[in-house]
Amino acid sequence: MNGVIIIDKPAGWTSHDVVNRMRRILQQRSVGHLGTLDPLATGVLPLVTGSLTRLAQFYTASEKTYEGVIRFGFATNTYDADGDPVGEAHPVSPSLEQLHKLAASFQGLIDQVPPPFSAKKIHGIPAYKLARKQKEVVLNPVQVEIKEFSILGVEADRAHFRARVASGTYMRSVAHEMGQLVGSGAHLASLRRTAVAEFQITQAHTLEEIAAHSNEGVIKDHLKDCLPGLTTTCHSDRSFAFPKGKESGVQEPAVPNHKGIAALFVHPRQLLPQFPSVTADEPAAARIRTGRPVNLPELSRARQVKVFHGQGELIAIATRVAGTLFHPRIVFPDLEERPFRT
């Protein structure tokens, strides 16, 4: 399957856990994600499958939106609730007015020190590997941009916030630094990502929902001999190695029902909205599939366009050479199974 599907990542799972689960559901290796979420965090995790994994290069600098809770009173070594407390606890109840002013000081371009438990590399070694061995981790500040940062409310030692940030921004570091400025220490108690680039939480699906759609119609199409006369979904006995304590009652089918899952994928014309869409006729599509330049009915001055065959088959990202002449920059191979094939 070629496509993009939005996962509502559960707490306690790494982004790689989610990718592995989807590989089992779809029974294909070509699955990747468009931006890591910490195990503590939940929410929008876009996955790309099949030849559309090549779209990842267009999402490396994607804007992200978060909602979460900062707990004041003590810091942790990971800057979030998964870590061990650092230093003594200092009971504190900051005021909403105090935190509004503090949040305003973080907006715009700022220099931010990444958390020691992060993927930032020191002499080629990820910082978290050094931190786990209790070795000293010294990371240089990085310029990041916080476009919006609002404190929505305060309950005792917890502040609820919403933030819209540029790629590379760590909300864990924001929480840690706010705790230092308040003088009590603080850490990120919870985090939910509500948007990445054009993808919204309203488009997200749980893994259980996707597995259930994968099972739909399996008996009718593939497993008629499972239980004679059965008309409801039949789950296979295949197991999956879930993260500890995160077992699910829904299992992957022996043969995935791609038609059932296809309805959950983002329609290809909604991808990369900054690029105009153009529909190629049969001769032009044939040339594009072989990597040859072609004239397309696209009259804007956009440098790059999305090229479709029919309404739902994304076949290429093409770069304008001159006028209406385009050269395919990326060609997406034609596969048997594809969401929204028309």
DSSP string, 249-292: S----SS--HHHHHTTSPPGGGS-TTSPEEE--HHHHHHHHTT-
d(CA 122, CA 105): 29
- Which residues, other chains included, contact 91 with Cβ-Cβ below 8 Å and sequence gap of 6+? 73, 157, 184
3 state DSSP class of 141: coil
- Note whether 338 and 310 are within 8 A (CB): no
- Residue 108 CB coordination number (10 Å): 11
d(CA 54, CA 46): 13
Active-site annotation holds for 157 = no
3 state DSSP class of 305: strand
Task: Choose, from 8, 38, 80, 157, the residue flagged as catalytic.
Answer: 38
- Which residues, other chains included, contact 245 with Cβ-Cβ below 8 Å and sequence gap of 6+? 12
Q: 90-104 in b/e burial notation, b at 16+ Cβ within 10 A?
A: bebebeeeebeebbe
Nearest CA to 221 among 308, 128, 337, 133? Answer: 337
* Residues taking part in catalysis: 38
